């Protein structure tokens, strides 16, 4: 087994807030507080984007809609100020058939510059995210659920990473994701997919870094470098 020594900064890579995800139950501040209490160094808020299970009002203008996502991030970041905890901005984008990609390394100016981004094909979405220095990790690639069309296969050519451990997936589903990542040279990510500040998943998933990261761009660079460890069922591997 490879060494996990020195990878002391834990980050959640996949969590939701009630401000922008219809299925989530806790505010951005409550989520940040829960991870801080678990000893995490930070978290990426990956609320469901506009084509997925969003809590954002579709009748708003593009600028207003994407600002809602940014405001959830800002609220958590404001809560975390001075507490040695970094909140990072991300998204979980549903591109069709209930299939979703976690998106890291993008920001508000990127969203403002691309009205209707949620409706683009995965190819086009991936191209723009990559152009902006961001990365995509497919969320729970083989989860079987009523809302996911199993005919919709992962498109590894558009991806940088794959979520090889999702706390709420079945073991076999996660194992299939490991194969997807290995066969296609994708970096592995681990996520709690947390929707509630009292969730049993908090502390069980994420990645562990050697040094803190202050932005989504820095996180994307670490993921690309692969110099991190996974947190699986609370253990570093």
Rounded CA-CA distance 45/113 in Å is 21
Q: Which of 181, 172, 206, 198 is nearest to 86 (CA)?
A: 206
Cβ–Cβ < 8 Å for 172, 8? no
Of 194 and 220, CB closest to Zn ion: 194
Cβ–Cβ < 8 Å for 12, 205? yes
Contact window for Zn ion (CB under 5 A) among 18-26, 66-74, 171-179, 215-223: 18-26
User: To the nearest whole angstrom, how small is the minimum distance from the Cβ of residue 81 to Zn ion?
Assistant: 26
**Using the rule CB under 5 A, is 148 a contact of Zn ion?**
no
User: To the nearest whole angstrom, how small is the minimum distance from the Cβ of residue 67 to Zn ion?
Assistant: 21
What mask of x and - would describe binding to Zn ion in positions 164 to 183, judged by CB under 5 A?
--------------------
**Using the rule CB under 5 A, is 232 a contact of Zn ion?**
no
Residues 22-51 that bind Zn ion (CB under 5 A): 23
CB contact burial 171-202 (16+ within 10 A = b; e otherwise): eebbebbeebbeeeebbbbbbbbbbbbebebb
Rounded CA-CA distance 67/65 in Å is 5
| Residue nearest Zn ion by beta-carbon distance | 23
Residue 105 is classified by DSSP as: S
User: To the nearest whole angstrom, how small is the minimum distance from the Cβ of residue 102 to Zn ion?
Assistant: 8
Residues 72-131 that bind Zn ion (CB under 5 A): 92
**Using the rule CB under 5 A, is 193 a contact of Zn ion?**
yes
Q: Which residues bind Zn ion (CB under 5 A)?
A: 23, 92, 193
């Amino acid at each position: 087994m490879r060494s996990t020594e020195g990878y002391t900064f834990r980050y959640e890579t996949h969590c939701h807030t009630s401000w922008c995800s219809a299925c989530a139950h806790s505010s951005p501040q409550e989520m940040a507080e829960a991870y801080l209490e678990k000893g995490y160094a930070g978290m990426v808020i990956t609320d469901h984007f506009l084509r997925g299970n969003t809590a954002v009002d579709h009748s708003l203008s593009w600028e207003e809609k994407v600002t809602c996502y940014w405001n959830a991030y800002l609220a958590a970041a404001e809560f975390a100020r001075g507490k040695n905890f970094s909140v990072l901005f991300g998204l979980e984008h549903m591109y069709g058939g209930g299939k979703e990609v976690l998106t890291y390394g993008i920001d508000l100016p990127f969203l403002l510059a691309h009205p209707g981004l949620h409706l683009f094909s995965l190819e086009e979405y991936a191209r723009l995210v990559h152009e902006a220095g961001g990365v995509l990790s497919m969320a729970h690639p083989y989860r079987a659920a009523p809302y996911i069309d199993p005919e919709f296969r992962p498109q590894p050519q558009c991806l940088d990473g794959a979520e090889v451990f999702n706390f709420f997936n079945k073991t076999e589903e996660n194992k299939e994701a490991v194969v997807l990542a290995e066969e296609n040279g994708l970096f592995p990510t681990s996520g709690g997919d947390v929707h509630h500040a009292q969730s049993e998943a908090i502390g069980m998933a994420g990645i562990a870094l050697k040094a803190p990261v202050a932005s989504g761009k820095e996180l994307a660079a670490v993921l690309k470098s692969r110099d991190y460890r996974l947190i699986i069922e609370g253990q570093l591997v």
